[in-house]
Amino acid sequence: MDAAFWQTLGLTFQLAAITTMVLLLIGIPLAYFLANTQSRIKPVLEAFISMPLVLPPTVLGFYLLLLLSPESIFGAWLLETFNLRLVFSFAGLVLGSIIYSLPFMVHPIQSGFENLPPSFSEAAYTLGKSKTETLFKVLLPNIKPALLTGIVLSFAHTVGEFGVVLMIGGNIPNETKVASIAIYDEVEGLNYAVANQYALILFLFSFVILLLVYLMNRHGLRVNKF
C-alpha cells in the first residue's frame, strides 16, 4: 500500500466527515419542521428529499453536472462572481454528497421527533422554555439513537457513493479520486489485488460502524428526563 492508496482513503473519509457535519446542521431543523408542520408543501418536501433513494445516482450526477458546469448560467455566475468552479473539484463533491445523502440524515431524525410524546414539548413550554430551548435541551437529548443513526448512515453512505462523485468529480488524484472511484479504476486496469484492498477496508468499515450503531441503539433507547 503506497502513499497514493492512503491519500485516496483519507480523501474519502474527509469527504464523508464534511458532508455529515453539514447534513447534521441542515437535517435537524429540516427534520424538526417536517415532523411538526401541517403545511400542504410537506409531501412535496418529503418527496424531494427522498428522491436520491429511488433516483439512479448517475441521473442526479448528470443534472448536477449540467447545473454546475461553467457553460451553464448558474455555473458561469459562480465562476464570475466568486471564482468558484464546482465541477471536477472537491467542493463539488461535497455539494453532490450533501444532496445525495440528505434523506439518510433527515429520515431517522424526523422519525425520532415524530415518535416523541407531545407531552415533552408541552411540559417544556409550561416551564417557560422557548422553542429553541425545547429543541436543544429537551427534544434532541431524547432522540440520541435517531441522531446517531442519521450521522452514521450519512457518513457510511457518502463513503460508498459512486455515481454522483464520478459524474461531478471525475477521477483526479488527491482532489476528487475517492475510494469507490479507485476501486473501479483498479478493476478497469485489472489490478484486482489493489481493488480488493480498497474494497476490503470499505467492507470492514461499513460492517463495524453499522454493528456499533445497532449495539448502541440496543442499549441506549431509554428516554431521558429534563
pLDDT of 2 higher than 80: no
Contact (CB, 8 A) for 143 and 157: no
For residue 137, the model assigns a pLDDT of 85
Mean of the pLDDT values across residues 44-63?
92
In a domain, 174, yes or no: yes
Dist CA 208 CA 61 (whole Å): 29
- Burial code (b: 16+ CB inside 10 Å, e: under 16) for 19-50 equals bbebbeeebbebbbebbeeeeeeeeeeeeebe
For residue 223, the model assigns a pLDDT of 39
Contact (CB, 8 A) for 161 and 207: no
In a domain, 190, yes or no: yes
In a domain, 224, yes or no: no
Domain region containing 182: 3-36+43-219
Structure pTM?
A: 0.88
Dist CA 139 CA 28 (whole Å): 11
Tens of pLDDT, residue by residue over 124-171, are 888 878 888 888 888 999 898 899 989 999 999 999 888 899 899 888
**Coil, strand, or helix at residue 59?**
helix
In a domain, 48, yes or no: yes
Question: What domain count does the chain have?
Answer: 1
Mean of the pLDDT values across residues 174-183?
91
Tens of pLDDT, residue by residue over 211-226, are 887 787 676 544 343 3
In a domain, 226, yes or no: no
Contact (CB, 8 A) for 150 and 109: yes
In a domain, 197, yes or no: yes
Which of 178, 205, 200, 32 is closest to 97 using CA atoms?
178
Helices 179-188 and 3-36 meet at what angle, rounded to 10?
130
Residue 2, class by beta-carbon neighbours within 10 Å (0-12 exposed, 13-18 middle, 19+ buried)?
exposed
In a domain, 61, yes or no: yes
Kindly report the average pLDDT of the chain as a whole number: 88
Dist CA 46 CA 61 (whole Å): 20
- Burial code (b: 16+ CB inside 10 Å, e: under 16) for 172-203 equals eeeebbbbbbbbebbeeeeeeebbebbbebbe
The torsion defined by the Cα of 129, 130, 133 and 135, in degrees rounded to 10, comes to 110
The dihedral sign for the CA sequence 144, 25, 114, 156: negative
The CATH code of the domain that includes 115 is 1.10.3720.10
In a domain, 116, yes or no: yes
